[in-house]
Structure 1
Amino acid sequence: MLDRRGFLTAVGASALAAAAAGCAGGPAAPRLRIMVPNPPGGGYDVTARTVSATLKETGLAPEVQVFNLPGGAGAAGLARLLYEEGNGALLMQMGLGVVATTHIADGVAPVTRATPLARLVEEPIAVLVVPDSPYRTFEELLAAWRDPEVRLRMGGGSAAGGPDHLALMLIAEELGIDLGAADYVWHDGGGETLAALLSHSVDVGAAGVGEYRLAIAAGELRPLVVTGPERTAGVDAPTLRELGIDIDFVNWRGLLAPPGISAEDREALAAVLGDLRATPQWQDALRENHWTDAFLTGSDFGDFLAAENRRVSTLVDRLAPPES
């Protein structure tokens, strides 16, 4: 495990220069910053703040700042990351949704241009309604989805092609439901989706199980089904396979650094994240958030990211919403 001095030295000259600049006109800049490419309250935000809190609590990186840079379903954050070439003190929390954005939005560079650091976690998607919803079971929701007289409003915190949208469209495809039979309403992150559900602006939502664990536990939301291969502990909802639907689908999240960081910075950051994974605090966070450990670093994560980039391109082409 790297001590504080080892970590702060390893994050590179860029961080030290930023700190020195801060001393000239005010407080020193943070040694490490984690950018969240959507508003507070969503899965990326929760994950980044859990990483930050655990790094600080364990002394692995005592100075960590999380900041939100929303816009374009992650496009603005990715553009900022790529602009910060060589900055070994900046990370971006990302996942499947950001990969999808690069295939939906015009002029967005691929995630493979960034430096892959680590895939951290996986989690299933939950299909959710509010307690007073007319849909008490997933079967009842499917009946309405198939009914040409009903126009469902489905909300998600990812753009078309992102994990929330893909989970719903894969279910529709598997069951032979017209992909245009419901309106998918994109919200920039899980916080906006939760507000839309609670205000009845949408009829049903899709989100990572961990994003809404507190709302589920408080009875504010009712999960109808989860998309993972097994039931989620503490969540009273069947899997798709239990209902005879031959689909497993999980979302994942990881961390990227800007392109062009030094080999020393990359190795040091990967080592700190490996140490983070081994801490009891991080293992507790996995259980509390219903996350599955999916740790992958270095070239293995780079290969995974390239494969996901190709897979999502195929899925977006196949499951893109029909032209209006």
Structure 2
Amino acid sequence: MAVALAGALMGAVPVFAQDAPQLEMFVPAAPGGGWDQTARTMEQVLRKEGLISGAQITNVGGAGGTVGLPQFINQWKGRPNALMVSGMVMVGSIIANRSPVSLDQVTPIARLTGEFEALVVPAASPFQTVDDFMAALKADPAAVPVTGGSAGGSDHILFGLIGKSAGVPATSLSYVPYAGGGEALAALLGNQVAAGISGYGEFAEQVKAGGLRVLAISAGERQEGIDAPTLKEAGIDVELFNWRGVFAPPEVSDEDKAAMIKLVETMAASDSWKTEAANRGWSEILLTGDDFATFLAEENKRIEAILKDLGMAS
């Protein structure tokens, strides 16, 4: 794979088109969520740029990626043409679920994108503002179920931080986790929950269609094209930025690791990727190889401290 990739990046042939198979992408989440969107966008851009002949995407959802991670570690090890999409959600879920496996056992390739989170409600919700939502949460937390990704992930963390700002302990909050964004969206549109939290991109289409309404976003400042205040503007001193990235399996050679890093760097530099990222509201925060590994170690400590503070980890 490394030989094919090196030749391709010099303009010889498309990556994987001749002596290597197509790219294999592992998504440890159900279809429809942010990791799945990232994998499918990568496949689209890499093909468009002539960097691969195609990609096989495998979804294994559950528990913030901790159901799929052991499979990637044990069954995909050594594969030179494979990438797993993951991110901040998995860091939190590994801690919250006391997972016996961790991201230390895979090969960091690149942090790709960052995305702020959105607090949304169904169009028919009585909550017109964040103040309405917070008043109800303070009055009876159990009566305000909020859906999002898996327990301990970024959505759950944000809800915990919002609750903490209102003096509501995390253990009193009613959080309804789902393994994939599609399931959480269905619960929202079916009025089965009071609100939802996820990356804005996962809600954008339904917000534009009028099915959902954004109460607030977790960004540091207002975002163009989104008619909603930041949480801080609404008096909630919380800001959160969710990141996503890719990992190779364990036991890949240094040559194959370098080839995968080069592949992702080439993709990230393309106009096609930049256009897709902008259209989806993804901030480009590329960090590769050893620098990404250093970031991961620091991120693990940060998330563990937050989860302990919120009572979500021991």
Q: Normalised by the size of structure 2, how large is the TM-score?
A: 0.91
Decide whether aligned partners of structure 1 residues 322 and 58 sit closer, same or farther in structure 2, where only a CA change above 3 A counts: closer
Contact 1:4 1:61 in 2 (8 A): no
Contact 1:240 1:246 in 2 (8 A): yes
Give the whole-Å Cα distance in 2 for the aligned partners of 1:149 and 1:58.
Answer: 49
> Residue 99 of structure 1: which of 82, 91, 99 is its match?
91
Paired AA for residue 92 in structure 1: M
Match of residue 36 from structure 2: 45
Q: What displacement does 1:321 show?
A: 4.9
Confirm or deny that 1:183 pairs with 2:174.
yes
Contact 2:143 2:174 in 1 (8 A): yes
Match of residue 259 from structure 1: 250
Match of residue 24 from structure 1: none
Deviation digits for residues 260-308 of structure 1, max 9, x if unmatched?
Answer: 1111111111111111111111111111111101110011100011111
Confirm or deny that 1:289 pairs with 2:297.
no
Decide whether aligned partners of structure 1 residues 4 and 65 sit closer, same or farther in structure 2, where only a CA change above 3 A counts: farther
Contact 1:180 1:322 in 2 (8 A): no
Match of residue 64 from structure 2: 73
Name whichever of 313-322 and 242-251 sits farther off: 313-322
Confirm or deny that 1:121 pairs with 2:141.
no
Give the whole-Å Cα distance in 1 for the aligned partners of 2:294 and 2:71.
Answer: 23
Match of residue 16 from structure 2: 8
Give the whole-Å Cα distance in 2 for the aligned partners of 1:43 and 1:198.
Answer: 18
Decide whether aligned partners of structure 1 residues 292 and 253 sit closer, same or farther in structure 2, where only a CA change above 3 A counts: same
Decide whether aligned partners of structure 1 residues 253 and 150 sit closer, same or farther in structure 2, where only a CA change above 3 A counts: closer
Name whichever of 223-232 and 242-251 sits farther off: 242-251
Q: Secondary structure at the match of 1:217?
A: helix
Give the whole-Å Cα distance in 2 for the aligned partners of 1:34 and 1:292.
Answer: 22
- Between the two proteins, what is the percent identity of the paired residues? 37
Q: What displacement does 1:146 show?
A: 0.7
Unmatched tracts of structure 1, length 5 or more = 10-14, 20-29
Match of residue 90 from structure 1: 82
Q: What displacement does 1:175 show?
A: 3.1
Match of residue 237 from structure 2: 246
Contact 1:145 1:181 in 2 (8 A): no
Paired AA for residue 269 in structure 1: M
Q: Secondary structure at the match of 1:81?
A: helix
Give the whole-Å Cα distance in 2 for the aligned partners of 1:322 and 1:82.
Answer: 24
Q: How many residues align?
A: 305
Matches for 1:204-219 after TM superposition, within 5 Å: 204-219=195-210
Give the whole-Å Cα distance in 2 for the aligned partners of 1:270 and 1:63.
Answer: 18
Q: Secondary structure at the match of 2:66?
A: helix
Give the whole-Å Cα distance in 1 for the aligned partners of 2:51 and 2:140.
Answer: 56
> Residue 135 of structure 1: which of 123, 127, 132 is its match?
127
Contact 1:157 1:192 in 2 (8 A): no
Paired AA for residue 61 in structure 2: P
Contact 1:210 1:289 in 2 (8 A): yes
Give the whole-Å Cα distance in 1 for the aligned partners of 2:182 and 2:244.
Answer: 17
Unmatched tracts of structure 2, length 5 or more = 1-7
Give the whole-Å Cα distance in 1 for the aligned partners of 2:273 and 2:64.
Answer: 27
Q: Normalised by the size of structure 1, how large is the TM-score?
A: 0.89
Q: Secondary structure at the match of 2:125?
A: coil
Decide whether aligned partners of structure 1 residues 322 and 85 sit closer, same or farther in structure 2, where only a CA change above 3 A counts: closer
Match of residue 314 from structure 1: 305
Q: Secondary structure at the match of 1:296?
A: strand
Decide whether aligned partners of structure 1 residues 149 and 309 sit closer, same or farther in structure 2, where only a CA change above 3 A counts: closer
Give the whole-Å Cα distance in 2 for the aligned partners of 1:4 and 1:75.
Answer: 39
Match of residue 187 from structure 2: 196
Paired AA for residue 248 in structure 1: E
Contact 1:151 1:181 in 2 (8 A): no
Decide whether aligned partners of structure 1 residues 90 and 126 sit closer, same or farther in structure 2, where only a CA change above 3 A counts: same
Decide whether aligned partners of structure 1 residues 204 and 4 sit closer, same or farther in structure 2, where only a CA change above 3 A counts: farther
Matches for 1:147-166 after TM superposition, within 5 Å: 147-148=139-140, 151-159=143-151, 161-166=152-157
Give the whole-Å Cα distance in 1 for the aligned partners of 2:170 and 2:95.
Answer: 19
Q: Secondary structure at the match of 1:103?
A: helix
